[in-house]
């Protein structure tokens, strides 16, 4: 064990200290499935590179991964478009269509897109994720299935879309549709917009547990190779780049605060999940539904800060 401490005991303490903080946040209320979730649910899991799992609380309760799916979509789009080829592939065209800078704006903001000619700041905000999904549709026959296959493989068990969440997300797509149309007006959308939106809402609606997500991000901590199977998912370069984008852009306009208090690549979703990676050490997921104003799990963030402080995990 790389850590000179009892990780199960430490995790249990982290969760108990963070639990009360959930009452300061509010669950997402834009669809009934998220609005009706028990705000007291709290699960946290760490998986070491050798497969040892440390879990506390509701580690095995599924929730929709929402924007955490953006990480896996990015990994697949970079790989499938050839943007990670050693000779560069069509790297230039991929990164010409979506940037790598933090936005400083909310995840669903339209403002910057107009100013910046339909090129989203990064792949972690909604507009960027829509471009990523457009790239996936350009390069893959069945991208939705490909994403489920990848997540199932990484989680070590089958995962699927929550059809109830999918139906409700579908009725709530106006803002994302507006972004896609705006990008199309700048020539930065190649496929049918309804198809892009369908892929995006499907990836948001995938149901996974904290345990499954902690396993699923481990390949990023392991320089692109899934430690469970030894299969290379992406090159070390791509794993490092995706980690950099998670660190600087994953928690949206709170990315600076996350770097300040946690100091790890993180990605959050509006269902209250946050994943984090510790290179060569851990895949981590925390789930607590109430959110802060930037749309990140308020107690999940506190738990990650506490964990990072106690184990000295920050990159800085
Ligand atoms: O795109 C949407 O509006 C929702 N499915 C929310 C995605 C998400 O998790 C954004 N941020 N936290």
| Spacing, Cα 219 to ligand 1 middle (Å) | 24
Using the predicted structure, report yes or no on whether residue 92 has a pLDDT greater than 70: no
Better pLDDT: 36 or 83: 36
| Spacing, Cα 69 to ligand 1 middle (Å) | 10
Task: Return the closest-CA partner of residue 228 out of 169, 300, 151.
Answer: 151
| Spacing, Cα 308 to ligand 1 middle (Å) | 26
**Are 68 and 55 in contact, with CB atoms under 8 Å apart?**
no
| Spacing, Cα 256 to ligand 1 middle (Å) | 19
| Spacing, Cα 70 to ligand 1 middle (Å) | 10
Q: How confident is the model at residue 108 (pLDDT cuts 50, 70, 90)?
A: confident
Using the predicted structure, report yes or no on whether residue 2 has a pLDDT greater than 80: no
**Are 110 and 92 in contact, with CB atoms under 8 Å apart?**
no
Q: Which of 65, 103, 126 to mutate to test the pocket of ligand 1 (most atoms within 8 A of CB)?
A: 126
* Average pLDDT of span 88-109: 82
Better pLDDT: 4 or 201: 201
Q: What is the mean pLDDT of the chain?
A: 95
Please enumerate in sequence order all residues whose Cβ is within 8 A of that of 199, keeping only pairs 6 or more positions apart, or say none. 133, 136, 137, 143, 144
Using the predicted structure, report yes or no on whether residue 26 has a pLDDT greater than 90: yes
Ligand 1 site residues (CB inside 6 A) read 66-67, 107-108, 126, 169, 176, 204, 268-270, 295
Q: How confident is the model at residue 106 (pLDDT cuts 50, 70, 90)?
A: confident
Q: What value, to the nearest 5°, has the Cα angle with vertex 68 and ends 79 and 64?
A: 125
pTM, full prediction: 0.96
Question: Per residue in 281-300, pLDDT tens?
Answer: 999 999 999 999 999 999 99
Q: How confident is the model at residue 184 (pLDDT cuts 50, 70, 90)?
A: very high
Q: Which of 35, 66, 130, 246 to mutate to test the pocket of ligand 1 (most atoms within 8 A of CB)?
A: 66
Q: How confident is the model at residue 263 (pLDDT cuts 50, 70, 90)?
A: very high
* Cβ-based burial of 141 (10 A; exposed 0-12, middle 13-18, buried ≥19): exposed
**Are 77 and 136 in contact, with CB atoms under 8 Å apart?**
yes
């Amino acid at each position: 064990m790389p850590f000179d401490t009892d990780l199960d005991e430490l995790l249990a303490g982290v969760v108990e200290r963070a639990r009360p903080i959930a009452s300061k946040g509010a669950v997402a209320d834009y669809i009934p499935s998220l609005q009706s979730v028990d705000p007291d649910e709290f699960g946290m899991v760490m998986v070491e590179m050798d497969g040892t799992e440390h879990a506390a609380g509701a580690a095995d309760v599924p929730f929709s991964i929402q924007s955490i799916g953006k990480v896996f979509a990015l990994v697949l789009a970079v790989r499938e478009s050839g943007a990670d080829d050693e000779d560069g592939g069509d790297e230039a065209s991929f990164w010409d269509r979506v940037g790598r800078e933090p936005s400083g704006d909310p995840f669903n903001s339209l403002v910057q897109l107009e100013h910046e000619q339909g090129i989203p700041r990064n792949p972690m905000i909604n507009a960027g994720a829509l471009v990523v999904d457009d790239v996936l549709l350009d390069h893959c026959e069945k991208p939705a299935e490909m994403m489920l296959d990848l997540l199932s493989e990484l989680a070590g068990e089958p995962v699927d879309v929550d059809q109830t969440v999918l139906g409700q997300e579908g009725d709530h797509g106006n803002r994302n549709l507006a972004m896609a149309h705006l990008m199309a007006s700048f020539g930065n959308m190649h496929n049918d917009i309804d198809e892009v939106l369908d892929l995006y809402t499907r990836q948001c609606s995938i149901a996974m547990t904290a345990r499954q997500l902690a396993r699923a991000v481990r390949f990023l901590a392991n320089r692109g190779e899934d430690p469970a199977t030894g299969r290379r998912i992406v090159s070390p370069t791509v794993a490092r780049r995706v980690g950099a984008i998670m660190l600087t852009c994953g928690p949206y306009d709170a990315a600076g605060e996350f770097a300040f208090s946690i100091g790890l690549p993180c990605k959050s979703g509006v269902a209250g999940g946050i994943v984090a990676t510790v290179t060569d050490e851990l895949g981590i997921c925390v789930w607590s539904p109430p959110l802060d104003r930037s749309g990140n799990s308020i107690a999940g963030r506190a738990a990650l800060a506490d964990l990072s402080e106690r184990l000295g995990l920050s990159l800085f």
